Structure 1
Amino acid sequence: MNLAEHYNQLYTKSAKEILAGNYKLDTQINSVSDSRFGITLLIRPSESVKANIQVLLKDLKAVDNTQYYYPDSDIHITVMSIISCYDGFSLDKINVHEYIEIIEKSLIEVDQININFRGVTASPSAVMLQGFPSDETLNAFRNKLRDNFKNSDLQQSIDSRYEIATAHSTIMRFQEKLKNPEKLVQVLEQYRDYDFGEFRVKELELVYNDWYQHDKNTILLADFYL
């Protein structure tokens, strides 16, 4: 996949939808009755990158502070959604150690992963950072995970929603009617090619999480160091 082209097409289409008022609101972000949980392997950006992200979030909040903005603790890149969130999933349904073993097996040939956050893109319901891995290591690792999990008897739903191929990070979701879609898109335009920084991935986290990766609902199951 040509990531730059993919992100650009997504942004162009979504910006038009936002300006036309055809954006989508997420009504469950703050719902205490949302019981969708799953397990995810993810990457956290470096502290310096997160500091740069806050510059963008400050400008977005100045335009519309009624939307949902991801706190530093929740910002992440999904490596693989191993069990996609669904109502009623709980850890007692699986043997976590077996999942850890497969991830460790898949990591054997992984040496180094570097990711550059450069520019922003959007969907009709969210704003995302554009992540660009420096090489094919992340994709190769994902393919190993796919093969190893699908050749196991473990519960998993990898690629059930879509086949993940990007390295984006969602930083804002629309939860209320947008105050000023035009100004929002103007801010996004200013950051379309902004360099938020590059970082070397030092660890991966396997977590039990809700749909939005709220830190308060997340349980760390294992760390994997590179």
Structure 2
Amino acid sequence: MNLTELYNNLYKRSIDDIRNGNNTIDRLIDDKNDKRRGLTVLIRPNDNIQEAIARFQHKLMLIDQEQYYQPLPDMHVTVLSIISCYDDFDLGQIDPSKYIRLLEESASNITDMDLQFQGVSASPEAVMIQGFPLNEGLEQLRDQLRENFKVSALQQTIDQRYRLTTAHITAVRFREQIKTPEMFVERLENYRDADFGSFKAKEIELVYNDWYQKKHIVKTLHKISLQ
């Protein structure tokens, strides 16, 4: 299944529930006692794409401002979740330098990572900007990380929840029932094929993070520049 089909299937499975007001509420978004932490390799979109997503978010806010709209500094594409967030994981349980070395080794032959963001998809919990790799860089890095971690003794949970194949950016998470779901879905339909732009990734980041990649919690452990 290609990415277009995957995004389409996800949208089709979810949109009726959203339209009928049966969106899934994430009750931990505002929970200050949420101690779920993990380790993630990610890339961040450039300013133009962030601004395009922010304009889309604003259109949704006019309909329902109570949802959680991902702040611009928190926007990201997950390359790979190395350690999926779980309660009370902290950096004292691992040696970050070993993870940094493995990331550097995995990324040593990656030079180009270009992505295009076109259209929106949705799950019962969230609205996403559809991302499409324009070359093999992202998948090559994912495969190299999988291979290198598989033969290492480092703590990791790669692909335990599901095998990551998308390149989306989460734009909205539902923290309340949608007040006017039919209007909300109509706005999503208007942006179903919208062009949010493309960019060439300049950096790969290894971060210690919470579930939502909130800036005040995230610790950047290492950055690798792409030439």
TM range (shorter): over 0.9
The residue type paired with residue 5 of structure 2 is E
* Distance in 1, Cα, partners of 2:205 & 2:181: 35
Say whether the 8 Å CA contact 2:21–2:177 is kept in structure 1.
no
Tell me whether 1:72 sits opposite 2:72 in the alignment: yes
**CA deviation after TM superposition for structure 1 residue 22, in Å:** 2.5
Q: Answer whether contact 2:118 2:130 (CA < 8 A) is retained.
A: yes
Percent of aligned pairs with the same residue?
48
8 Å CA contact 2:17, 2:23 repeated in 1: yes
Query: Could you tell me which amino acid in structure 1 is paired with residue 13 of structure 2?
Result: K
TM-score by length of 1: 0.98
Alignment of 1:60-99 (within 5 A): 60-99=60-99
| Aligned 8 A contact 2:20 2:182 in 1 | no
Cα distance in 1 for partners of 2:19, 2:64 equals 15
1:135, CA displacement in angstroms?
2.0
Return the offset for 1:68: 0.4
Q: Which amino acid aligns with 2:15?
A: A
SS of equivalent to 2:28? coil
- Please name the residue that 1:187 is paired with: 187
- Residues in 2 aligned to 1:33 and 1:107: alpha-carbon distance in whole angstroms: 35
Alignment of 1:116-195 (within 5 A): 116-195=116-195
State the Cα distance separating 1:154 from its structure 2 match.
Answer: 0.3
Residue aligned with 1:79, SS: strand
**1:160 partner SS:** coil
Alpha-carbon distance between aligned partners in 2 of 1:36 and 1:180, rounded to the nearest angstrom: 32
Aligned residues: 226
1:135 corresponds to which letter in structure 2?
A: N
- Structure 2 residue ranges without an equivalent (≥5): none
**One-letter amino acid of the structure 2 residue matched with residue 58 of structure 1:** H
For the 8 Å contact 2:15–2:185, the answer to whether it is kept is yes
Quick one: distance in 2 between partners of 1:55 and 1:20?
Answer: 25
Please identify runs of 4+ aligned residues in structure 1 that moved more than 4 A: none
Q: What code does the residue aligned with 1:156 have?
A: Q
Letter paired with 1:98: K
Q: Distance in 2 between matches of 1:187 and 1:20?
A: 15
- The answer for the alignment partner of 2:33 in structure 1 is 33
Amino acid at match of 1:146: R
Structure 2 CA distance, aligned partners of 1:9 and 1:113? 26
> For 2:62, what is the secondary structure of its paired residue?
helix
